[in-house]
Chains A and B, each alone.
Chain A
Amino acid sequence: MEITLTHYLVLATLLFLTGMLGFIVRRNAIVMLMCIELMLCAANIVLAAFSRWHLDLGGHVFVLMSFAVAAAEAAIGLAILVEIYRRRRTVNVDELTTLME
């Protein structure tokens, strides 16, 4: 038995879909952000797997960039959520409909 590239792709697909499903189903904005992090992680695994496949370390560099982007995204996203919570006392995305109406 051998671990192939396909194994990693399947794993990443499963993770990405889990994250996507969570993003659709959950109403809590913080948990939705977490689902985005899970999807990013799935993408990172694909990058690292193809980096191993091509024996080119460029993929590892992209994963590092993705770490930095994820950190920035989490910081900004959570800051926005804190600010929203301060004004509206909720982070339920169903109730944050000011722009929709």
Chain B
Amino acid sequence: MEVILFYFCGALMVIAGAMMVLSRNAVVAACWLIFAFINAAGIYATLSAPFLAVLQVLVYAGAIMVLFLFVVMMLQGPVLAGERRRLRPWLWPFLLLPPLAILLTVAGFLRRADNTSFPVAAPAGFGSAEQVAGLLLSRYLLAFELISIVLIVAIIGSLALGKVDRRQPWK
């Protein structure tokens, strides 16, 4: 069951990621990315991380990507003019790196027979909301508080950036 889920979601996720990069239309790219993130939730489910899976859908698909879609739709037409422009020559070698790395990883993956399997079955309740929250509010309390400050700063920062100066309405 988990095997099927992993291959299904993983394959869809890679395809969706590739389609995001390939689609010229930014709105379509955002939709593909949403699809990739929903599949990532499936990947988390196979890792016995249900809490992360739900939060992945809630935070990424439900909030962050809505923000992206919103901005893409408001800013401009779907296809950016000049998107088709050729890449700078000095960047060309870099284009070869990812396929090379993909080949290397897959080759290495296929060569090694003794892939490291997970040690034991996950204990009951591993990755549940209680356990993660328990850790979050004890051992990682400081980090938890700091991340809330990061979020507050982000809110204030984006408000300050997005504020239109009403005294100069022509701007």
Contact, CB under 8 Å: B157 / A60: no
A71 to B: closest C-beta gap in Å: 6
Pick from A52, A65, A71: contact of B47, CB under 8 Å: A52
Contact A28 B83 (CB under 8 A): yes
B147 touches A15 (CB 8 A): no
Report the contact-size class of chain B (Cβ under 8 Å from the partner): 35 or more
B162 near A83 with CB under 8 A, answer: yes
Binary CB contact string for chain B from 1 to 25 against chain A (1 if under 8 A, 0 otherwise)? 0110010001001100110110000
Given contacts A4-B116, A57-B131, contact A34 B67 (CB under 8 A): no
When distances are taken between beta carbons in the complex, the residues of chain B under 8 Å from A44 are 40, 52
Contact B17 A92 (CB under 8 A): no
Chain A residues within CB distance 8 Å of chain B = 1-8, 10-11, 13-15, 17-22, 24-28, 30-31, 33-35, 37-38, 41, 44-45, 48-49, 51-53, 55, 57-58, 60-61, 63-65, 67-76, 78-83, 85-86, 90-92, 94-95
